Amino acid sequence: MIESISAFFDAAAAAIPLLCVTMAALVVLLAEAFLKKGETMPMAPLGLIGLAGAAMASMLLWGRTPAPESFGVVTADNFAVFVNLVIVAVGVLTIVFSEQTIERDRLPAGEYYAMVLFAIVGMMLMAQATDLLLIFLALETMSIAVYVLTGMRRDQQTSTEAAFKYFLLGAFASSFFLYGIAFLYGVTGTTHIDEMSTRIAAQSMSGNPMILLGIGLLIVGFAFKIAAVPFHMWSPDAYEGAPAVVTGFMSTGVKAAAIAAFVRVFLKGLDPMIADWAPIIWWIAALTMIVGTVVGVAQTSLKRMLAYSSIAHGGYLLAGLVSGNEVGKAAILFYLAAYALTNLGAFGIIALLGSRERANDDLRDYAGLWHTHPALAGLMTFFLLSLGGFPPTAGFIAKWYIFSAAIGSGYYGLAIIGVLSSVVSVFFYLRIVVMMYMTDRDARPVPPPVPRLAMAGLALAMIGVLYLGVLPSRLIELAQQSIGTIF
């Protein structure tokens, strides 16, 4: 008995982080089912325990050589562990910021947390999967949970509309993705990423139309998930319609997971074809950066503004992918961590300022916030400066790292587009700062005070952003070690 259990754990070692979160999700779901009417139970701690378990398991899996692999399709190499930890951080912050939203909007707590946790399982699996089919399954697990979260406020039209749009377009994208897998399987005879790489390299398939078609379809699928132009149309609506904290979760977690899988598939499985796909991604990256920032300037809803800003940030991540060098891969990981903390912090603040009557997410609602909520205004400014890439924040180091990668591969054009678009983005980040600090409050109701726990979460995110901005070398080293083992 014991032997068989330990044998199981040996075989499934790489999947333990996933198991922890899945268990937590199931417990939450069951607990909700067995609660009597009117009875309440704190669900958030259950989720946090699951995430803590996942974080611990991931850390124990760090640095093993050879990387633990379970069932032939789930790996726990350093790359996956790194992304897992970023996703855990996203999950923890999301749960901490959620409590107020759930109470305010009377969301079903059990379902909400279960969906968040299931989405996290999907995200982690995307980072850990080494087989295209499993990546597809992970993608669907994550996506379905997120569709539900987007439409959680069933009494609100915008929320339902957003969820429906997101679902419909997402389903299309998924089928494109699946179609792409089919083509690649047809040409190479495998769906396993490592296998695929060796077979493509061995047969020098560059220029084969079938494989190009497959790559193109995969790009569509991934580009949709990270909201890259021209597949970004869904994201402003979905981001605006979803509760702010869910938006924060989507814009960081989904993006991190999709980018992780994107990197693994393209820089590992399809690396021999880099000359074929790099120009396509170059254009997508450039367009994403430009459209995200330029359209963001015209927004007056804070959520929509930050939705476009997340689109632009997806473009920076793709710039790291295009460069395809060692620096770029590590830069993507660093960027994911920095961006996750920063963006969740910003969305957390938006979520916390909402009240039952109104979302308070219009630009005008932030007028004079400095006078009513000085700490929140300060934190928001800090996160916005990080998003804009000012030192001494994580956002600056992350951007420098990405552009360094692009320049190292000779993509000066992409780097110049990147830095100039970040100047444009500073314009709209500063509009929010102008509102908070330099405009007087009009007659609108003052947003509610912020609960302690959420404040602690924000402070934690801020400390993280500052730490990564001032002393980034530790995380840079970890990112470098993460890519060393697999690529």
Binding site residues, another protein, CB under 8 A: 385, 390-392, 396, 400, 403-404, 407-408, 412, 415-416, 419-420, 422-423, 426-427, 430, 433-434, 437-439, 472-473, 476-477, 480
In the complex with another protein, the residue whose CB is nearer, 119 or 385, is 385
Q: How many CB atoms lie within 10 A of CB 189?
A: 10
Task: Give me the least distance between CB of 208 and another protein, in Å please.
Answer: 33
Nearer to another protein, 121 or 468 (CB): 468
180 or 296: whose CB is closer to another protein? 296
User: In the complex, what is the shortest distance from the CB of residue 277 to another protein, in angstroms, rounded to a whole number?
Assistant: 23
Residues 6+ apart with CB under 8 A from 436: 366, 367, 368, 369, 370, 377, 380, 381
- Cβ-proximal residues to 313 (8 Å cutoff; 6+ apart), any chain: 255, 292, 335, 339, 343, 387
Which CA distances in Å does 51 have to 34, 230, 272, 362?
Answer: 23, 34, 36, 33
Please, which residue, 62 or 390, has the CB nearer to another protein?
Answer: 390
Coil, strand, or helix at residue 301?
Answer: strand
Whole-number minimum distance, CB 427 to another protein, in Å?
Answer: 6
Nearer Cβ to another protein, position 278 or 476?
476
What is the rounded distance in angstroms from the CA atom of residue 227 to the CA atom of residue 232? 4
CB of 316 to another protein, least distance (A): 13
Question: Which phi and psi (to 5°) does residue 111 adopt?
Answer: -60, -45
Give the separation between CA 353 and CA 458, rounded to whole angstroms.
13
Tell me the closest approach of the beta carbon of residue 416 to another protein, in angstroms: 6
- How far is Cα 139 from Cα 254, in angstroms, rounded to an integer? 9
Taking alpha carbons only, the member of 241, 333, 224, 292 closest to residue 429 is 292
Give the nearer residue to another protein in terms of CB position, either 210 or 434: 434
For the CB of residue 320, give the shortest distance to another protein in the complex, in Å. Answer: 13
Please state the closest distance from residue 317 (CB atom) to another protein, in A.
Answer: 18
Q: Could you tell me the CA-to-CA distances from 407 to 30, 319, 400 in Å, in that order?
A: 52, 10, 10
In the complex with another protein, the residue whose CB is nearer, 10 or 477, is 477
Cβ contacts of residue 158 below 8 Å, gap of 6+? 240, 241
To another protein, the closest distance from the beta carbon of 342 in angstroms equals 16
| CB nearer another protein, residue 141 or residue 309 | 309
What interhelical angle do 374-388 and 326-353 show, nearest 10? 150
Q: Residue 202: which residues within 8 A CB-CB, separation 6 or more?
A: none
Phi, psi of 151 (to 5 degrees): -95, 20
Residues 6+ apart with CB under 8 A from 211: 183, 184, 187, 188, 200, 205, 273
**Residue 472 · residue 398 · CB < 8 Å:** no
Residue 419 beta carbon to another protein: minimum distance, rounded to whole angstroms: 4
Q: Select 133 or 407, whichever has its Cβ closest to another protein.
A: 407
